[in-house]
Structure formats: structure tokens, C-alpha cells
Amino acid sequence: RKEVEQDPGPFNVPEGATVAFNCTYSNSASQSFFWYRQDCRKEPKLLMSVYSSGNEDGRFTAQLNRASQYISLLIRDSKLSDSATYLCAVSLGGFKTIFGAGTRLFVKA
């Protein structure tokens, strides 16, 4: 079993739709969680950290479920520019951060 798993997608949604991704992790000692966005042939860019109580940044909401060991990302009112690959990252503390393989999102007009 992979340490961090994501549904690769692709998710194809119309503009304005709400879409959600999950990311499961295997190590219950994981301490910090992040979502990154990666455009084709570009570097990952930090989208948001994920806090225990859940957090929101504009149209993006991130949540953590420690009991079931997953994090989620919700995107409301999808824009064409949201089309990208979304990577989750899980840190065990110290240096070690494990990245998922990413979920591809296509938003269509």
C-alpha cells in the first residue's frame, strides 16, 4: 500500500461546478498536511496547508479527518483556470514529506 494515495482522475467538470478530491495516508503519526497545484510541465505550487479544524481560502476548502486518515480539497464554482493536477503532501515531521501522485482536474466551458 502506498503511503499517500490519490484518485488519479481525471475529473471532468463544467465551469461553476463543485468538485472534491480525497487523499488517504497510511501513517497515523503524520503531522502536517498540504495541498499543492501543479500545471503541466511546471513545478508544484503550494495551494494551502490543511489544519485540524479545516480551513478555507476563497473557493477552496481543505479538511482533515484523522480518524479515517484522509484529507480533502473542495473547489466551489470551478473556473477554467482551476484545470491542473492537485497533489496532496503529508509530513511525518522533520524532513520527510510524502507526495501523492496527484488528481487531474479538467474544467470545461
Stretch that binds another protein, among 14-22, 31-39, 61-69, 70-78 (CB under 8 A): 31-39
Distance CA 104, CA 42 (A): 14
22 is an interface residue for another protein by CB under 8 A: no
Distance CA 59, CA 91 (A): 25
Of the pair 45, 108, the CB lying nearest another protein is at: 45
Q: What angle do CA 48, 79, 44 make, to 5 degrees?
A: 35
1 is an interface residue for another protein by CB under 8 A: no
DSSP state of 3: S
98 is an interface residue for another protein by CB under 8 A: yes
Residues contributing to the site for another protein (CB under 8 A): 4, 8, 31-32, 34, 41-46, 49, 87, 89, 91, 93-102
